[in-house]
Structure 1
Amino acid sequence: MPVSRHLLINVDVGSWGRKPIPPKIMALHNQRYSIDMREVLALVALLTAPPIALGFELDNSWACARYLPALDKGPFLRLRPEWTELDPHQKTVLSDDFGMGLTTLLLFEALDTIYFANTQYLVKTLNTPAFSLKPSQKSGQRKSPDFVAVDTTGRAHIIECKGTQTPSTLYKLLNNGIPQKQNMRVGPPYTLGQSIVAGVYIPQHGGGKPLCRIIDPEIKLAEGERNQGNGGNNLAVAVARANVASALHLLGLRREGNAVALNEPEVERSPVKRVEELPVVLGLGELQKEPFVVQSHTVFYPQDLLTDKGIAFDGIRIRTGLSRNIFEAVAVGDLEGAVRQSVARARMAGWRRAATETQLQLTTATGMFAEIELLTRS
Structure 2
Amino acid sequence: MPFSRNIDVDIDTGSWGRKAVPAWIGTNGVQSVNVTNALLLLGALTTPHALSAGSPERYWACVRYFSALTSTNDLRIQSAFLDLDPHQKGILSDDFGVAISTQWLSDRMGGFARISDGRKFAINNGLKKSASNIAKVGPGKCPDFVVTDRSGKFHVLECKGTQIGERSRDKAMENGLPQKRGIAFGRHVLGERLVAGLSLVGEASNAKTSLRIVDPVFAPVSEVPNGDAPRARDILSRLMMASALNLAGFPRTAFEMSWPTGFAADATVIPYLTKFEKEGLSQSRPERTATLRQEIATEVRTRPPRGQNFVVREVRLEIPAIEIEPGVVATTVFLRRGVNAQTILQLGQNNLDFQDVLDDQTPRGASAVVEFANEPAKARLSFADKFFTEMEFLI
Q: TM-score scaled by structure 2?
A: 0.82
Counterpart AA for 2:393: L
Which stretch shows the higher mean deviation, 204-213 or 120-129?
120-129
Which stretch shows the higher mean deviation, 263-272 or 149-158?
263-272
Does 1:177 pair with 2:176? Answer: yes
Alpha-carbon displacement from aligned partner over 1:74-125 (angstroms, at most 9, x marks no partner): 1111111211232221111111111001111111343453111111111111
Does 1:295 pair with 2:313? Answer: yes
- The residue that corresponds to 1:136 in the other structure is 134
Match of 2:47 among 36, 46, 49: 49
Does 1:355 pair with 2:377? Answer: no
- The residue that corresponds to 1:76 in the other structure is 74
5+ long unaligned stretches in structure 2 = 262-284
Distance 2:136 2:105 in 1: 24
- The residue that corresponds to 2:347 in the other structure is 330
Deviation at 1:374, TM superposition (A): 0.7
The count of aligned residue pairs is 362
Distance 1:330 1:190 in 2: 35
- The residue that corresponds to 2:190 in the other structure is 192
Maintained 8 Å contact 2:163/2:200: yes
Deviation at 1:223, TM superposition (A): 10
Counterpart AA for 1:268: A
Counterpart AA for 1:273: A
5+ long unaligned stretches in structure 1 = none
Maintained 8 Å contact 2:113/2:368: no
Change (3 A) 1:57 1:141: farther
Match of 2:330 among 288, 292, 313: 313
Change (3 A) 1:343 1:127: same
Partner of 1:47, secondary structure, is coil
Deviation at 1:204, TM superposition (A): 1.7
Deviation at 1:50, TM superposition (A): 1.6
- The residue that corresponds to 1:35 in the other structure is 33
Output the aligned Cα RMSD.
Answer: 3.0
What's the % identity of the aligned pairs? Answer: 28
Deviation at 1:15, TM superposition (A): 0.7
Counterpart AA for 2:15: S
Alpha-carbon displacement from aligned partner over 1:177-215 (angstroms, at most 9, x marks no partner): 3246x3124255984321100011111221221101101
Match of 2:157 among 151, 156, 159: 159
Partner of 2:139, secondary structure, is coil
Maintained 8 Å contact 2:122/2:183: no
Which stretch shows the higher mean deviation, 112-121 or 203-212?
112-121
Q: TM-score scaled by structure 1?
A: 0.85
Change (3 A) 1:263 1:284: farther
Change (3 A) 1:169 1:121: same
Distance 2:356 2:132 in 1: 30
Deviation at 1:284, TM superposition (A): 4.7
- The residue that corresponds to 1:276 in the other structure is 300
Maintained 8 Å contact 1:275/1:331: no
Change (3 A) 1:210 1:234: same
Maintained 8 Å contact 2:337/2:388: yes
Distance 1:161 1:169 in 2: 14
Maintained 8 Å contact 1:294/1:322: yes
- The residue that corresponds to 1:205 in the other structure is 203
Change (3 A) 1:361 1:147: same
Partner of 1:347, secondary structure, is helix
- The residue that corresponds to 1:261 in the other structure is 258
Deviation at 1:62, TM superposition (A): 1.4
Does 1:233 pair with 2:227? Answer: no
Distance 1:119 1:176 in 2: 19
- The residue that corresponds to 2:275 in the other structure is none
- The residue that corresponds to 1:342 in the other structure is 362
Does 1:124 pair with 2:123? Answer: yes
Counterpart AA for 2:298: R
